[in-house]
Amino acid sequence: MPPADSVRRTARTKYIRLLASMASPVAAAAPATPDRVLTLTNALSSVTARIAAVTQSSTAPVPRLVAVSKLKPASDVLALYTAADQRHFGENYVQELVDKAAQLPSDIHWHFIGSLQSNKCATLASIPNLFAVETVDAVKKARKLNDARSDEWDMLNVFIQVNTSGEESKSGAAPGKDTVEVARYIVGQCPRLKLLGLMTIGSIARSRAAADGEQNPDFAALMETKRLVEAEVGVDGLELSMGMSDDFEDAIKQGSTNVRVGSNIFGARPPKKSS
């Protein structure tokens, strides 16, 4: 295994080369049209109002809102950054995140929420204003992120993705000992990473059932896993990243501190191949 300093130098070099390969690596994002800005800000206001309604009618804390901008132009992000002071944005694809981070203001807090591949960890860790990687699900990936993260930057927040539904189509560590193992490694062996919390993508069917007033078992399972990790690893105050456009209100009621909302803010997305 190469020394960590060598890994970090290599990661930074790859990131610089990625920027250099872009047509306009330092070009600012073009502004959105006034009509588009109005549409986006109204949609964001609607989501924040719904969040406020949930938190005001219960003991739930106000969660962090991550606006998921995948497959949307950088101009959409800039519109919400400028007109609505939105700072947390989520992306699913590494190259798209690299491109947008290069074009947009450096104080944006980027969240990577897509499936995490080991060979992409170094590139991700080399983005200075990457706030969090929400999809760490294995010791190997945590190690690669830690080795590539520069000592000159803030610790990189990470969430462990937990596959609470057991669906084969979803990534994530299994609830229980597998999640505890990853958490223990991050806390004990990754000085450049901060274990911020746990994340799950709930089953759509379970989310729809929960809309009738029942608890979502995926969200309940993540809360139970949080308690287990805190007890076994000796940490406290872990966050819960759960809830998307279809189920964020129910997720907040069940303790979510970080919701990831995309289509309710940005509208329907094009297929990836045509983006």
The domain ranges of the chain are 4-21+33-267
Query: How high is the pLDDT of residue 6?
Result: 62
Distance of CA 238 to the CA centre of its chain: 15
Spatial distance between the Cα atoms of 87 and 78, rounded to a whole number of angstroms: 10
Which of 201, 222, 202 is CA-nearest to residue 210?
202
Q: Which residues share a beta bridge with 64?
A: 258
pLDDT per residue, tens digit, the chain (275 aa), is 556 666 566 555 554 554 444 434 446 788 999 999 999 999 999 999 999 999 998 888 899 999 999 999 999 999 999 999 999 999 999 999 999 999 999 999 999 999 999 999 999 999 999 999 999 999 999 999 999 999 999 999 999 999 998 888 899 999 999 999 999 999 999 999 999 999 999 887 777 776 666 789 999 999 999 999 999 999 999 999 999 999 999 999 999 999 999 999 999 988 876 54
Which of 82, 78, 112 is CA-nearest to residue 97?
112
Query: How high is the pLDDT of residue 211?
Result: 63
Those residues whose C-beta lies under 8 Å from the C-beta of residue 260, and which sit 6 or more positions away, are 66, 68, 90, 111, 113, 134, 241, 243, 244, 248
User: Using one digit for the tens of pLDDT, what is the confidence trace for 111-163?
Assistant: 999 999 999 999 999 999 999 999 999 999 999 999 999 999 999 999 999 99
**Paired tokens of 27:** 């070009």
Query: How high is the pLDDT of residue 28?
Result: 74
Taking domain 4-21+33-267, whether its CATH number is 3.20.20.10 is answered by: yes
CA dihedral for 39, 45, 48, 52, sign (positive or negative): negative
